[in-house]
Amino acid sequence: MLAVVCPGQGSQSPGMLTPWLELPGVPEQLSSFADASGIDLTAHGTTSDADTIRDTAVAQPLIVSASLVALRAILGDRPAEQVVDVTAGHSVGEFAAAAVAGVFTDAGAVALVSRRAASMAEAAAATPTGMSAVVGGTPEDVLTAIETSGLYPANVNSTGQVVAAGSPEGLAHLAANPPAKSRVIPLQVAGAFHTPFMESAVEVFQPVAEAWDASDPRLTLLSNADGATYATVSGAAHGSRSDVLRRLAEQIVAPVRWDLCQEQLVALGVTGLLELAPGGVLTGLARRAMPGVETVAVKSPADLDAARDLVARHSSAAGDAPAATEGASS
């Protein structure tokens, strides 16, 4: 069984789209994404520096675009539901995962996430906040230290990695008083996402999301709020568009429970996990939390052959579908 997972904010790096532009169709694909989002994603993915792409309003559509460019390069003309068994995304990656599941068109996902990013950037600018990863320590000690520092557990990625979010003073206190046997690592994000600091962003984004053009998922899609499949949430075959849109708005202030998503992937019987570009973080977590599951992280076109091989060997959905064609399509 094949899972396709999509990375979240902080996975971006300067120049990450440069090698992708050499693939047929990718320049046109990125041009359509730029038109949809109103952002020059080609420039930001090739020449913008680290500080520029750290801006939430840039980072989020850039990451979702990179994931969808990689997806189409891997699948060619095949619809994802003919290949992918289950998909999930970490935070903003859930928008890319929703496109994988057929909830949005690729350009529609990039356009919507640009609206999310703008609302979150505005909320982040209102009050200085940030995020730090706590790696190691016992879950009890880590959560106690986060609470003692006046912070929130914004991402529970695994039993050994929790992301704390809140004020600079709270993050400084946590760094100076780390839980036993842990490290505190500042993250390159511009706000305390998935905490009450983002309430104003939800107020702006929720009506936009609820009115967005969307379809019911066409394959199994997980919610990073609790790892549940959208079928479980709604009772429909793969879930309903209204539930997906509602939860995508609510997740702005809700903790990301990637630990529960990983548990669900294991429970579903996933044997191969493909992380779309800019990959690396989620496969690293999977190697520790999902032993025995084969992983491939797509970082550049050099990883496409390995990705296609993983798909061919682990996809239950593919059946006798024809092999993927080279290049990308929008």
Residues 260-290 have pLDDT tens digits of 999 999 999 999 999 999 999 999 999 999 9
| Segment 207-216 mean pLDDT | 97
**Distance (Å, rounded) from C-alpha 152 to C-alpha 159?**
16
* Gap between the Cα atoms of 312 and 178, Å rounded: 44
Question: What gap in Å lies between CA 139 and CA 177, rounded to an integer?
Answer: 16
Q: Please write the tens of the pLDDT for every residue from 64-76.
A: 999 999 999 999 9
Q: Do domains 2-125+196-314 and 130-186 have the same CATH topology?
A: no
What would the mean pLDDT of 71-86 be, rounded to a whole number?
Answer: 96
Buried b (16+ CB within 10 A) or exposed e, 158-192: bebbbbbbbbeebbebbbeebbeebebeebbbbbb
Which pLDDT score, from 0 to 100, does residue 317 have? 82
Average pLDDT, integer, range 233-251: 92
Structural fold of domain 2-125+196-314: Malonyl-Coenzyme A Acyl Carrier Protein; domain 2 (3.40.366)
> Lowest-confidence range among 13-27, 222-236, 245-259?
222-236
Three-state DSSP at 135 gives: strand
Residue 177 has phi, psi (to 5 degrees) of -135, 65
- Is a pLDDT exceeding 50 seen at residue 327? no
Q: Which pair of tokens denotes residue 174? A: 């946590």
pLDDT of residue 329: 31
- Percent of residues, the chain, with pLDDT higher than 90: 92
Q: Where are the domains of the chain?
A: 2-125+196-314, 130-186
pLDDT of residue 135: 96
Per-residue pLDDT, 320: 41
Mean pLDDT value of segment 51-57 = 93
State the average pLDDT over residues 29-37.
97
Percent of the chain residues topping a pLDDT of 70: 96
Q: Is the pLDDT of residue 235 over 80?
A: no
Q: Evaluate if residue 115 carries a pLDDT over 90.
A: yes
Quote the pLDDT of residue 190.
Answer: 79
pTM for this entry: 0.93
pLDDT at res. 63: 98
Per-residue pLDDT at 102: 98
Q: Please list the alpha-helical segments (H only) found in 127-167.
A: 139-148
Res 328: pLDDT: 34
Q: How would residue 98 be classed by pLDDT, with cut points 50, 70 and 90?
A: very high
Which one, of 249, 218, 191, lies nearest residue 101 by Cα?
218
* Average pLDDT over all residues of the chain: 94
Q: How far is CA 325 from CA 22, 31, 311, 314, 321, in A?
A: 16, 21, 13, 18, 12
Does residue 223 surpass a pLDDT of 70? yes
Determine how β-strand 130-136 pairs with β-strand 161-166.
antiparallel
Name the residues annotated as catalytic. Answer: 91, 194
Q: In the structure, what pLDDT confidence band is assigned to residue 318 with cuts at 50, 70 and 90?
A: low
Cα separation, 125 vs 107, in Å, equals: 27
| Cα separations in angstroms, 4 against 81, 111, 215 | 11, 21, 19
Residue 118: count of CB within 10 angstroms of its CB: 21
Contacts of 247 (CB under 8 A, 6+ apart): 223, 225, 233
**Cα angle at 42 between 39 and 43, to 5 degrees?**
80
Q: What is the per-residue pLDDT for 118?
A: 97
- Take residue 129 and report the two structure tokens written for it: 């906040």
- The architecture of the domain spanning 130-186 is 2-Layer Sandwich (3.30)
Helix, strand, coil percentages in the chain from 3-state DSSP, rounded to 5: 50, 15, 35
Q: Are 33 and 310 a contacting pair, CB within 8 Å? A: no
Of 3-17, 190-204, 226-240, the poorest mean pLDDT is in: 226-240
